[in-house]
Amino acid sequence: MLGVLFAHQVRADGFDHAIDSRVIAWLGGHRGLLLWLAAPGSLIPAGVLCVAIVAACLLAGRLNGALLAAAAVPVAVGLDEALLKPLVHRTYWGSVVYPSGHTTAVFTLAATLTVLLVPPPVKATAMKAAAPRVLIPAAVCALGLVVAIALIGLRWHYFTDTVAGAAVGIGTVCGLALLLDLPSWLRRPNGPGPRKAPGPEEDDLQPLDDGAEPDHRRGRTRSGRDVIVLLRTPDHSTWMAPRSVRSLSRGGPLTGRAGLPHCACQR
């Protein structure tokens, strides 16, 4: 959407000018400092961080994470340079600037670390252990904001160039992560892919005899494990045998094929 609004612009619009002029007035006289602040988004620093993330993922045995870290920055920056910049062709001092490649690189790294490190919601008692995994991506996001401010102060980019760069980086990581996880998701038992037919390894319940209790039935799995299964219809009149006790062996309330309540406990 921003690309459509800013296509073929050669000067800042009112929104960009309102922000850029304040940043330039505040930091414009510190060019040396701004060059240092913008450096993390350049080729060598971003490449070094990518290599470090890939190495850490390989050491941890996370192949998909290593693939994500290796591909994310090249793909995101490639989209900028090969597709979006020529297509939008927004210029600043004669250079094509939309979206910002520096900002794309840093926010791509931040999004990659977020996917790899940030855990799912945890209880308050586990927050301390999870804190470093949240703080590292947050720190890289803050670095991305610093890089964006430096680029504006250097007059290399408009404010909205940096916003678009961040969006490209984050969107690229999300898309790549989805593609890398899609095969394993399709293989899940509850996924949309074809389900595996029960084979001889399934722990199908083999009835042996009726239990002493009226609401129980005793059985044995093919692996030789004895279980007691409680199966009742609402009117206590009909027994329903489960298809498999693989899940029953873990215990807890379950639902059979007919939607009837049953539970099991190992012996």
* In the chain, where the domains are located: 2-186, 206-266
**Residue of 135, 150, 130, 175 whose CA lies nearest to 32:** 150
Per the CB < 8 A criterion, the answer to whether 98 and 8 are in contact is: no
206-210 and 216-220 strand pairing = antiparallel
Average pLDDT over residues 205-223: 48
Residue 199, C-beta contacts closer than 8 angstroms, at least 6 positions apart: none
pLDDT computed for residue 152 by the predictor: 96
Could you tell me the pLDDT band of residue 254, with boundaries at 50, 70 and 90? very low
pLDDT computed for residue 25 by the predictor: 93
pLDDT computed for residue 6 by the predictor: 78
Characterise 84 by phi-psi region: left (phi > 0), alpha (psi -120 to 50), beta (else): alpha
Check pLDDT > 60 for residue 140.
Answer: yes
**With pLDDT > 70 as the criterion, what percentage of the chain qualifies?**
65
Average pLDDT over residues 101-127: 83
pLDDT computed for residue 163 by the predictor: 95
Sign of CA dihedral 95, 158, 80, 91: negative
**pLDDT one-digit tens code per residue, 43-96:** 999 999 999 999 999 999 999 999 999 999 999 999 999 999 999 999 998 899
Kindly report the average pLDDT of the chain as a whole number: 77
**pLDDT one-digit tens code per residue, 8-33:** 888 888 999 999 999 999 998 899 99
Residue 16, C-beta contacts closer than 8 angstroms, at least 6 positions apart: 158, 159, 160
Could you tell me the pLDDT band of residue 122, with boundaries at 50, 70 and 90? low
pLDDT computed for residue 12 by the predictor: 85
What values do phi and psi take at 261, rounded to 5?
-70, 140
